[in-house]
Amino acid sequence: MQDTRIAAVVCRCPVGQLAYNLERTAHWTSYARKRGADIVCLPEMNISGYQLSARTRQIAETPAGPVCRALQRLADGEEVVILAGLAEKKDDRQIFAAHLVLMPGSPPRVYRKLHIAPPEQPFFTAGDTIPVFNAAGAAFGIQLCYDTHFPELSTRMALAGAEILFMPHASPRGTPAGKYKSWLRHLPARAFDNSCFVVACNQSGDNAAGLSFPGVAVAIDPSGEVIASRVEDEEGVLLADLKAADFEAVRSHRMRFFLPHRRDDLFA
């Protein structure tokens, strides 16, 4: 990978207020780009807002819809990679919790949440592919909130070439300190076990639909060490430099890079 500056955005995402959420996405993207970000990651469902009701279907959109076209114009205009979340409508029956990968000059690509939490299951369909994306000199995977609790997913992404794992959240309730403590139980393990960078961010504040989010963002290096964090519920951006030398120091170490010695034959 190349040295990559990431921006992990913490922001309020009111449900159904698409124009407002697009404007705030543009604001934070411009803010991050002016500070040298190569990739801007926004929280899960930052465009649609996160809710579990029939209204989710009403505000869902296809990747070819007007909201997604506006996001593509933003990526093109700022010349930056944007990772943005929304409810994606595939047909009259299937709604996905999706995260778009918007690269300048390229068609949008999409990650669909694979592990649907029990309260979400009446409203969302699970995705069925594990993509790895290449942009801004890095290969990366995306996991959405509940996905991060399944270690095999990170391993599959790392085996497919991922160097960074982006983990956007829409994780409500609790305090910033409590959410950060919870994340530190498992996110450093995803980085350490798979020798990958991990970047996570969360929604913040009142979502105008009965939920409140504690914010929080963190970046973790391939040794499982926190390199940057933002433990507060105010809107803002965490900037972190993910250095190729730190990645190579682990990947080139015969005792610290575990994946080449994984016994695939045991798990076939």
Q: How far apart are CA 220 and CA 192, in angstroms?
A: 9
Sheet holding 226-230, edge to edge: 133-135, 138-142, 164-169, 197-202, 217-220, 226-230
* pLDDT number for residue 240: 98
Residue at 266 is within a domain: no
Q: How far apart are CA 61 and CA 50, in angstroms?
A: 14
Q: How far is CA 221 from its chain centroid?
A: 16
Residue at 168 is within a domain: yes
Residue at 25 is within a domain: yes
Tell me the CATH number at 111.
3.60.110.10
39-41 and 81-89 beta bridge pairing: parallel
The type of residue at 79 is: E
Q: How far apart are CA 101 and CA 165, in angstroms?
A: 13
Residue at 172 is within a domain: yes
* pLDDT number for residue 251: 95
CA angle 241, 110, 24 (to 5 degrees): 60
Q: Can you read off the two tokens belonging to residue 88?
A: 């994606």
Report the domain count for the chain: 1
197-202 and 164-169 beta bridge pairing: parallel
Q: How far apart are CA 128 and CA 103, in angstroms?
A: 23
* pLDDT number for residue 54: 85
Instruction: Provide the residue-wise pLDDT of the chain in tens; the chain has 268 residues.
Output: 999 999 999 999 999 999 999 999 999 999 999 999 999 999 999 999 999 988 888 889 988 899 999 999 999 999 999 999 999 998 768 999 999 999 999 999 999 999 999 999 999 999 999 999 999 999 999 999 999 999 999 999 999 999 999 999 999 999 999 999 999 999 999 999 999 999 999 999 999 999 999 999 999 999 999 999 999 999 999 999 999 999 999 999 989 999 999 999 998 7
Q: Is 245 exposed, middle or buried (0-12, 13-18, 19+ CB in 10 A)?
A: exposed
Q: Give pairs for 113-121: CB < 8 Å, separation 24+.
A: 113/44, 113/144, 113/145, 113/146, 113/147, 114/143, 114/147, 114/150, 114/153, 115/146, 115/147, 115/149, 115/150, 115/153, 116/146, 117/145, 117/146, 119/52, 120/52, 120/146
* pLDDT number for residue 140: 98
Residue at 267 is within a domain: no
Residue at 268 is within a domain: no
The residue behind tokens 């207020």 is 17
Domain interval for residue 106: 4-259
Residue at 166 is within a domain: yes
